[in-house]
Amino acid sequence: MLTETLRECDWIPVTEAGNIPPREGRSLCLNGKELAVFNLNGRFLTIDNHCPHKGGPLCDGIVSGTAVVCPLHGRRFDLETGLPVRADDETSLATYPTRMEGGVIYIGFPTAQEAAGEAA
Amino acid sequence: MKQQLVVVGNGMAGVACVEQILKQPHDFDITIFGAETHVNYNRIMLSLVLAGQKSPDDIVLNGVDWYRDNNIRAKLGVRIANIDRERRVVIDQEGGETPYGKLILATGSNAFIPPIPGVDKKNVHVFRTMDDTQELLAKSRPGLKAVVIGGGLLGLEAARGLQLRGCDVTVVHLMDSLMERQLDPTGGAYLRRKIESLGIRVMLPKQTDALFGNGLVDGLRFASGEELEAELVVIAAGIRPNTELARRAGLAVGRGIVVNDHLETSDPDIFAVGECTEHNGQIFGLVAPLYEQGRVLAHAITGQRGKTFSGATPATKLKIMGVDIFSAGSIDDSEPGVESVKFEDPSQGVYKKVLLKNNRLHGVILVGDAEDEYTYTEWLRSGTDLTELRRQVLFPPRDPDPGRELADMPDSETVCGCNGVKKGDIIHAIHTHGITTLKQVKERTRASTSCGSCTGLCEKLLRAVAPDFQADTKTTLCSCFPFSYEQLRDIMRGQKLKSVEEVLAVYGNRKGCEVCKPALSYLLDMVWCGDHEEDRSARFINDRVHANIQKDGTFSVIPRMRGGVTTPDELRRIADVADKYNVPMVKVTGSQRIDLLGIKKADLPKVWADLGMSSGQAYTKGVRMVKTCVGTEFCRFGVQDSTNTGIELERRLENLFTPHKFKMGVVGCPRNCAEATVKDLGLVGQEGSWQVVVGGAAGKSVRKADLLITVETTEQALEASDLFFQYYRENANYLERSYDFVERIGIEKVRKETVYATDADKAKLLDRLARSKALAKDAWLEGAQPVNATQFVQIQPSAKTTSPEVASVC
């Protein structure tokens, strides 16, 4: 998380905070990816929307603390880290830095240089 | 000949000490005198008995067979009045004498009753023993005006218990702040806010000058002249060591019975243990150090002096009305050289204060979040130098691997503070006795048998160490709550909790999960007959968008078609919708309805509008449908009007939620063409009567429904249906189908409490059903009036907020 926030990001405004009710998620498409943004009582977190198990829409899942439970088969993922909560699930999900400013939610994508640096 | 060991006091400290003696090589013939008539019970849990969360039997620590199996003579209800040290006998109040070789005084403490005029009035009680608790239970009733004098731990627990019994409770406290011995004024204020939000009044600082009333107490008069009405008063102004017997026997007594590091009194043959003792000027009110005393005493009395008692660091962990509180070490920040570091989050109700001295932990107060208590306890115990951790003292680093915490814990670290059980003891017990359940851990080690705050840790340990770990038989909803369904229903009613978040905050782990959140949503809806605060985030996606999620994330739409009867118009509209939205599959369901499969979430409101029909609730734990045959209207054999009766039945119950899905059937003759006898509720028409059958199933299991009753008229059949329906709603566990429910309860009991109930009880059931029904509505109305702007739509990063190239379609 720390490296994530220090990294240079392009912050893209996506929607008004009020559009995501507390403890619920909503999906959106950005940069060709389908993401799910969650509102953990005022703290916003973003994760890939599709469960790696069978592609279930995580934005439709019930939130449990900082985890979300996939509505199709109950896989759990931590919204802060993208890691599966049970050790026997292997695949984790990408998370995206998210912040709220002036009532608008922003999602950060690494700038072009940063992304290139990472690839190298 | 065996040496006579007499123990005066049959409470937790005395009996725990005897348990320790039994573990040592000894040659004692043991007699225990108890002034109370009960076997040794867990005094800490009396508040749970008062609150109705435990029965008196649940809190017994040593049952009668323990005394018998260990050849201990228990003389209960016998008060020792004197000790004749010269003749080495104890003398009871009847004059009976019992000789002793060694004597242990475990006389505990008494409730302190302040010298206020009027404390002798009727309905003025203390809260100290099982008998006190039972008297309070007998007197408490909903609406009773109860006043608790004392805002310490015991007073607040009494207040909570009485409130759960429905009493109208006020806590009156002499000091400026609640629990001032464990909390500073800010911590006390956080606790006060929480308590007040639960509907308990707190008045402080208030000095009570008198209790008035003619025989029965009517109220309190404060020093300020104000008065407060009261029908029941509980005095919880603290406890005082019970030293009278020791004083009369001429032993050294200060505030308590003075003992040395081996728990010997001024007479080498007389020991003392527990709350009655005073050690190095300190007296004790919490159980953990008293168990430590018992262990030291057991060594000394069996001639193995070595172990010594060195007092105790005060540490209190408790949960009061759902608020975690932890206080340890010294909380006095006026001491020179003590610095305090604080954190406050008023909206979360979290307050933390850490006191440091010479860069070492000196004391800590946690309100609302006590998760780091182990770290703080360890820092206090070991005197860890915190120079390097100064910036993290309020939020000690946590390991992302929860198993690590356990692995990092040294074997010598205490898991159960109440009973002094260390991590190593539990692991040893698990290995040597092949323990696989928490219950066995409790029986073997006593860990988690007192306050229960270490239950989670014990379970984690079991899970980690025992290869065949079995969770204890599930009577609770899930691990988020320590309560059964019944208790949860009582709690919701008693505490007037109306939202899932409130229940979770007060009685749960504040997180909730996919198991308990929908269950709590249902229970609240049922308990409050629909008049609760619905929280969509606590419900499964189907109940957020009123359609059934499919494997590809699309939804299925089934409109209501009462009794399986439709019209050409409806069929045309269904066909048009199927064309317009390119519905991949249109299917006739097993429930005499039509299913449109593969609808996108965003299209749901439009689909419903085009259909112009109401929700068939085919996606929820609720009333599904009534399947019917054609009956007298067309059938040559029909003897009852099954279609119209079915339509009426569906109208009466539709839009209501149930513990699990609820399917019905109505047939016009015993040929049973619509399979009413394998439905949750069925009406089987006969010549001149209806059979009402319940608890049928043709799913995972097949079960023929039981006959509830046979009645003559259709109106009677519908009323019997209503009664069973509401009874199932109120008494089944969440996700329990009617056939499991009927088998669990037994059809006889179901009959007795529904169709054979008194008219008054029937009226109550029907009234609650009517209230729920009055508030129930067609969920698809939300298509036109969504509960929030994005209920059905994907968020579209708009051109206004972002450039077009990033807002791509995927």
Asked whether residue B677 is domain-assigned, the answer is yes
Query: What dotted CATH number matches A2-109?
Result: 2.102.10.10
User: How much is the average pLDDT of B583-610?
Assistant: 96
Name A36's bridge partners. A27, A47
Instruction: Supply the pLDDT for residue B415.
Output: 84
Which of B202, B237, B272 terminates a domain? The answer is B237
Q: Domain containing B731 — which CATH number?
A: 3.30.413.10
> Do B642 and B500 sit in the same domain of this protein?
no
Q: Give the Cβ contact number of residue A102 at 10 Å.
A: 8
d(CA B719, CA B643): 17
For residue B24, being part of any structural domain is answered with: yes
- B646 and B697: one domain? yes
For B622-677, give the DSSP string.
BEEEEEE--HHHH-SS--S-HHHHHHHHHHHHTT-B-SS-EEEEEESSTT-TT-GG
Q: How many residues does chain A have?
A: 120
Instruction: Using CB atoms, pick whichever of B511, B541, B807 lies closest to residue A30.
Output: B807
Contact A69 B514 (CB under 8 A): yes
The amino acid present at B45, given as its one-letter code, is M
Does residue B497 register a pLDDT over 90? no
Q: CB contact, 8 Å: B807 with chain A?
A: yes
Q: How far is A115 from chain B (nearest CA, A)?
A: 16
pLDDT for residue A96 is more than 50: yes
* Token pair in block for residue A114: 């940063």
Cβ contact (<8 Å) for A30 and B514?
A: no
User: Of A12-21, A109-118, B533-542, which range is least confident?
Assistant: A109-118
B205 upstream amide cis, omega within 30 of 0? yes
Residues in chain B, how many? 810
pLDDT at res. A4: 47
**Cα–Cα distance for residue pair B161/B55, rounded to 1 Å:** 13
- Nearest CB partner across the interface for B795, out of A19, A64, A81: A19
B669-682 pLDDT, tens digit each: 999 999 999 999 99
Query: If you average pLDDT over residues B89-99, what whole number do you get?
Result: 94
The ranges assigned to domains in chain A are 2-109
Asked if B1 is an interface residue toward chain A (Cβ–Cβ < 8 A), one would say: no
Lowest mean pLDDT among B224-238, B354-368, B386-400: B386-400
- Cβ-Cβ contacts under 8 Å between A and B: the total is 98
Residues B44 and B188 in one domain: no
Please provide the average confidence, as pLDDT, over all residues in chain B. Answer: 90
B 698-717 residues inside an 8 A Cβ radius of A? none
Please determine, for residue B125, whether its predicted confidence score (pLDDT) is greater than 70. yes
The CB density around residue B484, as the number of other CB atoms within 10 Å, is: 15
* Inter-residue contact B186 to B344 (CB < 8 Å): yes
CB B68 within 8 A of CB B33: no
Domain assignment of residue B786, yes or no: no
pLDDT at position B314: 67
Q: Averaged over B382-393, what is the pLDDT?
A: 87
DSSP class of B55? -
| Residues B105 and B245 reside in one and the same domain | yes
B562 with B608, same domain? yes
Residue B199: inside a domain = yes
Q: What is the pLDDT of residue B370?
A: 82
Residue B390 DSSP code = G
Same domain, residue pair B603 and B676:
no
Characterize the bridge pairing of strands B323-329 and B360-367.
antiparallel
pLDDT reading at B303 higher than 60: yes
Measured CA to CA, the distance from residue B670 to residue A89 in angstroms comes to 52
Asked if residue B378 is part of any domain, the answer here is no
Q: Is B193 found in the same domain as B67?
A: no
How far apart (Å, rounded) are the C-alpha atoms in residues B23 and B31?
Answer: 17
- What CA–CA distance (Å, rounded) separates B478 from B515? 7
One domain for residues B752 and B634 = yes
CB contact under 8 A, A26 and B794: yes
Cα gap A58→A75, rounded to integer Å: 9
First to last CA, chain B: 90
Q: How many helices (H) and strands (E) does chain B have?
A: 25, 39
Q: Which of B513, B514, B801 sits opposite A14 (nearest CB)?
A: B801
Host domain of residue B560:
542-620
Does the pLDDT of residue B142 top 50, yes or no?
yes
Mean pLDDT, residues B707-729 taken together? 97
pLDDT tens digits along B149-191: 999 988 998 998 898 888 899 999 999 999 998 899 999 999 9
Q: Look over chain A and give the mean of its residue pLDDT values, rounded to a whole number.
A: 86
The per-residue pLDDT for B208 is: 93
Mutation target for B interface from A11, A16, A29, A50: give the one with most B CBs within 10 A.
Answer: A29
B675/B769 same-domain check: yes
Q: What is the mean pLDDT of residues B792-805?
A: 68
Q: Which residues of B772-794 are buried (b: 16+ CB within 10 A; e: fewer)?
A: bbeebebbbebbeeeeeebbbeb
Same domain assignment for residues B558 and B651: no
Say what the pLDDT of residue A117 is.
52
> Domain for residue B423, yes or no?
no
Output the pLDDT for position B7.
97
Closest-CA residue of chain A to B347: A41
Give the residue from chain B lying closest to A70, CA to CA: B514
B543 and B619 Cβ atoms separated by less than 8 Å? yes
Touching check for B796 and chain A: CB below 8 Å?
yes
Distances (CA, A) of B443 to B61, B69, B148, B430, B630: 10, 15, 35, 11, 62
Q: Please identify among residues 48-77 of chain A the ones whose CB lies closer than 8 Å to any CB of chain B.
A: 54-57, 60-65, 69, 71-72, 74
3-state secondary structure of B776: coil
Residue among B511, B553, B809 minimizing CB distance to A29: B809
Task: State whether residue A82 sits within 8 Å of chain B by CB.
Answer: no
Judged against a pLDDT cut of 80, whether residue A8 lies above it is answered with no
d(CA B335, CA B67): 49
Q: Which of B392, B443, B384 is nearest to B19 (CA)?
A: B443
Query: Within this chain, do residues B22 and B57 fall inside the same structural domain, yes or no?
Result: yes
Q: Domain holding B578: CATH number? A: 3.90.480.10
- Give the rounded percent of residues in chain B with a pLDDT score beyond 70: 95
Please identify, among B203, B237, B271, the residue that sits at the C-terminal boundary of a domain. B237
Beta bridge partners of A78: A67
Q: Any chain A CB within 8 A of the CB of B57?
A: no
- The verdict on B37 and B100 lying in the same domain is yes
> In the prediction, which pLDDT does A2 show?
43
Number of other residues whose CB lies within 10 A of the CB of residue A60:
25
% of residues, chain B, pLDDT over 90: 64
What is the secondary structure of B117-174 as a DSSP string?
Answer: TTTTSBTEEE--SHHHHHHHHHH--TT-EEEEE--SHHHHHHHHHHHHTT-EEEEE-S
By C-alpha distance, the chain B residue nearest A24 is: B537
Determine the 3-state secondary structure of B508 from DSSP.
coil
Q: What is the mean pLDDT of residues B696-701?
A: 85
Is position B230 within any domain?
yes
- For B480-519, list the strands marked E by DSSP: none
Q: Is B432 in the A-facing interface, judged by CB distances under 8 Å?
A: no
3-state helix, strand, coil in chain A (%, to 5): 15, 45, 40
Check if the beta carbon of residue B661 is closer than 8 Å to that of residue B624.
yes
CATH number of the domain residue B66 falls in: 3.50.50.60
Which of B539, B562, B584 is at the close of a domain?
B539
Residue B398 maps to a domain: no
- Check CB contact of B456 with chain A, cutoff 8 Å: no
Gap from A120 CA to chain B (nearest CA, Å):
24
Partner A contacted by B799 (CB < 8 A): no
Cα distances (Å, whole numbers) of residue B542 to B524, B583, B654 = 18, 19, 17
CA torsion, ordered B436, B441, B444, B446, to nearest 10 deg: 180
Answer whether A112 touches B (CB < 8 Å).
no
Nearest CA in chain A to B790: A19
